[in-house]
């Protein structure tokens, strides 16, 4: 196994994990991004954002450096950015309207932003927004797509109206099987499928599913969906439609490239609990809830420490809302595990901070890793569950420290 002993800070900041190897002979291996991804990444600031790791300029796909995730709430200007299509309008709130209707709703209507804010009971909750393809770039073998490292995720307080309250006003019919969303963004070419998504009616009626107009107490940033986006707590961000302009109740499953072909996983391969039955095929099913996961956020690969001095390991853990049970830390490459200490509980859809301190006595390499598990008994995997689109990577990731 090849071990790289030094890495530039820049490369670490760019999400460069370099070569493989936990540094010890434990069961865990550290995956790396493709060489071309490392070479083309730059820290670049979109308007209103701090520098993020640019994966593509157009459409803009930018991830948070891991250090930005060292706070349990991700500030708006550090929150990742993900768009599928390049025509992203600047929204004029005076003319923006949200229409609620569809063949599964008897009383279609429209809302201004002020009406959305004032005519429905506001609800605020904290939830992880994580791209289903977060960590795709760490797939082994690599698979095509946006080559995300660990930062296509963030945790924020979202305030908005309950989707179920909007649907009730629209006269939702019992026959509605899915609720479909469209945003103001669109494709460059007319021939390109517009980005539309749907969720099952039962998930749309969950009291935690929102049409949010605030993020961390502020209007949503343009890049994160101003003036309103769908919040589907516990589910991957593909359903969290940005710049939402249309909500439709459907008596038939949505037919859309982005539902029928994209964002699907092989059936039966992942420990998902939530099923999206109206969109299942013989062999594949849409991604649904976020898998239990964790991330060390305060340490960098190859970081140096002194023998005899305490090392504090801290990070985040999160899942799809079942409830975190524990985070364990290994300092021997995954052979043995000790419980970490949880920080404040901000709700079942929120990420939770944790930390673990230890004092290395001997010099040499220490392979540190974290592993979360939840109330359903699910935990992170040691080996990648390979799938061709690189979704649902919750592999335990070791970080090699040098004790001198």
Partner 1 sequence: MISAPAICSAVLIAAAPAGIARADEAALHLKDSPDAALVVSKCSICHSVDYIQSNAPFLKRAGWEAEVRKMVKVMGAPLDEAELARVVDYLTLQYGSDAP
Residue with smaller CB distance to partner 1, 262 or 367: 262
Q: How far is the CB of 257 from partner 1 (least distance, A)?
A: 6
Residue with smaller CB distance to partner 1, 47 or 94: 47
Ranges of beta strands (E only) in 102-184 are 109-111, 122-130, 153-162, 178-183
What are the percentages of helix, strand and coil residues in the chain, rounded to 5?
Answer: 15, 30, 55
Q: How far is the CB of 205 from partner 1 (least distance, A)?
A: 32
The number of beta carbons lying within 10 Å of the beta carbon of residue 217 is 10
Neighbouring C-alpha atoms within 13 Å toward the C-beta of 122: 16
Q: How far is the CB of 279 from partner 1 (least distance, A)?
A: 18
Six token digits for residue 135:
């960590």
Contact between residue 103 and residue 94 where contact means Cβ atoms under 8 Å apart: no
What lies within 8 Å, CB to CB, of 35 at 6+ separation is none
Contact between residue 352 and residue 316 where contact means Cβ atoms under 8 Å apart: yes
Neighbouring C-alpha atoms within 13 Å toward the C-beta of 35: 1
Report the C-alpha gap between 134 and 389 in whole angstroms. Answer: 11
What lies within 8 Å, CB to CB, of 88 at 6+ separation is 59, 60, 185, 243
Q: How far is the CB of 249 from partner 1 (least distance, A)?
A: 27
Q: How far is the CB of 185 from partner 1 (least distance, A)?
A: 9
Q: Which residues bind partner 1 (CB under 8 A)?
A: 34-37, 39-42, 44, 54-60, 86-87, 89, 141-142, 144-147, 186-193, 257, 261
- Phi and psi of 116, rounded to 5°? -60, -40
Residue with smaller CB distance to partner 1, 99 or 260: 260
What does the DSSP 8-state code read for residue 42? E
Q: How far is the CB of 90 from partner 1 (least distance, A)?
A: 11
Residue with smaller CB distance to partner 1, 58 or 174: 58
Residue with smaller CB distance to partner 1, 26 or 32: 32
Q: How far is the CB of 213 from partner 1 (least distance, A)?
A: 25
Q: How far is the CB of 14 from partner 1 (least distance, A)?
A: 11
Q: How far is C-alpha 75 from the geometric centre of its chain's CA atoms? A: 15
Ranges of beta strands (E only) in 50-177 are 52-56, 61-63, 81-82, 98-101, 109-111, 122-130, 153-162
Q: How far is the CB of 386 from partner 1 (least distance, A)?
A: 14
Neighbouring C-alpha atoms within 13 Å toward the C-beta of 209: 25
Q: How far is the CB of 215 from partner 1 (least distance, A)?
A: 23
Ranges of beta strands (E only) in 152-222 are 153-162, 178-183, 196-200, 210-215, 218-219
Residue with smaller CB distance to partner 1, 377 or 388: 388
Residue with smaller CB distance to partner 1, 143 or 168: 143
Residue with smaller CB distance to partner 1, 34 or 364: 34
Neighbouring C-alpha atoms within 13 Å toward the C-beta of 220: 27
Rounded to a whole number, what is the largest CA-CA distance in the chain?
A: 71
Residue with smaller CB distance to partner 1, 39 or 310: 39
Residue with smaller CB distance to partner 1, 149 or 321: 149
């Amino acid at each position: 196994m090849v071990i790289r002993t030094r890495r530039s800070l820049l490369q670490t900041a760019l999400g460069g994990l370099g070569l493989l190897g936990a540094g010890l002979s434990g069961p865990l291996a550290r995956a790396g991004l493709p060489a071309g991804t490392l070479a083309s990444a730059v820290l670049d600031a979109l308007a209103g954002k701090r520098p993020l790791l640019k994966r593509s300029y157009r459409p803009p796909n930018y991830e948070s450096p891991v250090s930005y995730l060292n706070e349990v709430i991700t500030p708006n200007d550090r929150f990742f950015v993900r768009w599928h299509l390049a025509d992203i309008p600047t929204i004029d709130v005076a003319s923006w309207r949200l229409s609620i209707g569809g063949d599964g709703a008897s009383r279609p209507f429209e809302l201004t932003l002020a009406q959305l804010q004032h005519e429905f009971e506001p609800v605020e909750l904290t939830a992880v927004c994580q791209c289903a393809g977060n960590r795709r770039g760490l797939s082994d073998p690599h698979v095509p797509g946006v080559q995300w490292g660990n930062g296509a995720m963030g945790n924020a307080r979202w305030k908005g109206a309950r989707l179920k309250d909007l649907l009730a006003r629209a006269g939702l019919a019992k026959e509605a099987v899915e609720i479909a969303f469209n945003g103001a963004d669109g494709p460059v070419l007319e021939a390109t499928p517009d980005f539309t998504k749907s969720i099952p009616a039962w998930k749309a009626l969950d009291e935690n599913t929102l049409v949010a107009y605030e993020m961390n107490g502020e209007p949503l940033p343009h890049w994160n969906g101003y003036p309103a986006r769908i919040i589907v707590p516990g589910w991957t961000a593909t359903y969290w439609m940005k710049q939402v302009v249309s909500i439709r109740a459907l008596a038939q499953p949505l037919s859309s490239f982005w539902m029928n072909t994209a964002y699907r996983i092989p059936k039966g391969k992942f420990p998902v609990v939530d099923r999206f039955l109206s969109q299942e095929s013989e062999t594949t099913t849409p991604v649904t809830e976020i898998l239990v996961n964790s991330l060390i956020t305060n340490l960098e690969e190859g970081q140096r420490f002194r023998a005899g001095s305490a090392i504090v390991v801290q990070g985040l853990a999160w899942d799809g809302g079942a409830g975190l049970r524990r985070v364990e830390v290994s300092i021997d490459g995954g052979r043995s595990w000790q419980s970490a200490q949880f920080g404040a509980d901000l709700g079942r859809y929120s990420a939770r901070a944790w930390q673990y301190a230890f004092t290395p006595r001997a010099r040499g390499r220490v392979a540190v890793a974290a592993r979360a598990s939840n109330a359903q008994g699910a935990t992170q995997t040691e080996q990648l569950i390979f799938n061709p689109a690189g979704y649902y990577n919750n592999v335990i990731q070791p970080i090699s420290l040098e004790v001198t």
